[in-house]
């Protein structure tokens, strides 16, 4: 059996039998451990922001973000199937960065720049937050850790099978192949899940999911004007918006029933 076939069978077998979340568990990145680590990182973020006087706890922007956060939390808890209760916490940071994220266990970080630079409505804030909450609720960080573990396994097996004669170009090609084979498509899949789940979550909380479309249209416009750190990890383009339009009716039906 040739080395390429061995490599393919190893990776396919792990993905089929266990899945990326189970691989993450095997690598010591179980849900509880990830949540504890995220909480520690979040606390450090709070401490540093307090020391640097960049922690926003009172501005009008903070109050709007916190209001949306408070409204979304109970609906996030309703769909939490991670087996771990989330201790939702919010940090709003004074920064021109157009960015936001939710770490495992419900640690929400919002930069004031994403609200102020894009002139977001409350519903558009909910679209950002809902998208990011779904990343945490679906344990996408854990999925990525599992995928990376598989990527590293594939790379190590491939380089080992090639022996000591593999050169720099060979290693680079193997790395690229592992990224294309596991990393990049998987990341796009996670973003699609967060898009769809975010629409449903914001609708359940009483925010018109149409705002998700206007949000990403604003993102696209900003991208054309020089881009943002948020867009570096959240691909924003016409295909994405079109996919969201297709998922909109289901979310709109939930919103209209409220």
C-alpha–C-alpha distance, residues 198 and 176, integer Å: 31
Catalytic site residue 242? no
Options 48, 124, 132, 139, the catalytic residue: 132
Sign of CA dihedral 166, 170, 172, 177: negative
Of how many residues is the chain composed? Answer: 258
- Known catalytic residues are 132
């Amino acid at each position: 059996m040739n080395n390429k076939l061995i490599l393919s069978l190893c990776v396919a077998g792990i993905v089929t039998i266990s899945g990326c979340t189970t691989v993450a568990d095997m690598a010591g990145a179980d849900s509880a451990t990830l949540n504890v680590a995220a909480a520690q990182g979040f606390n450090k973020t709070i401490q540093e922001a307090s020391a640097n006087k960049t922690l926003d706890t009172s501005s009008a922007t903070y109050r709007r973000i916190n209001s949306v956060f408070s409204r979304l939390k109970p609906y996030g808890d309703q769909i939490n199937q991670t087996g771990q209760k989330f201790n939702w916490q919010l940090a709003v940071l004074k920064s021109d960065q157009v960015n936001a994220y939710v770490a495992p266990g419900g640690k929400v970080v919002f930069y004031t720049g994403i609200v102020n630079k894009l002139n977001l409505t409350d519903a558009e804030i909910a679209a950002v937050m809902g998208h990011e909450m779904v990343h945490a609720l679906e344990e996408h960080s854990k999925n990525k850790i599992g995928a990376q573990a598989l990527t590293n396994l594939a790379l190590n097996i491939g380089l080992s099978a090639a022996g000591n004669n593999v050169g720099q170009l060979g290693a680079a090609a193997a790395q690229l192949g592992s990224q294309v084979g596991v990393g990049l498509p998987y990341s796009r899949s996670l973003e699609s899940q967060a898009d769809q789940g975010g629409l449903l979550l914001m609708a359940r909380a009483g925010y018109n999911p149409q705002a998700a479309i206007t949000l990403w249209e604003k993102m696209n416009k900003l991208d054309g004007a020089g881009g943002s750190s948020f867009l570096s990890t959240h691909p924003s383009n016409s295909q994405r918006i079109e996919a969201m339009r297709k998922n909109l009716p289901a979310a709109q039906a939930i919103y209209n029933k409220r």
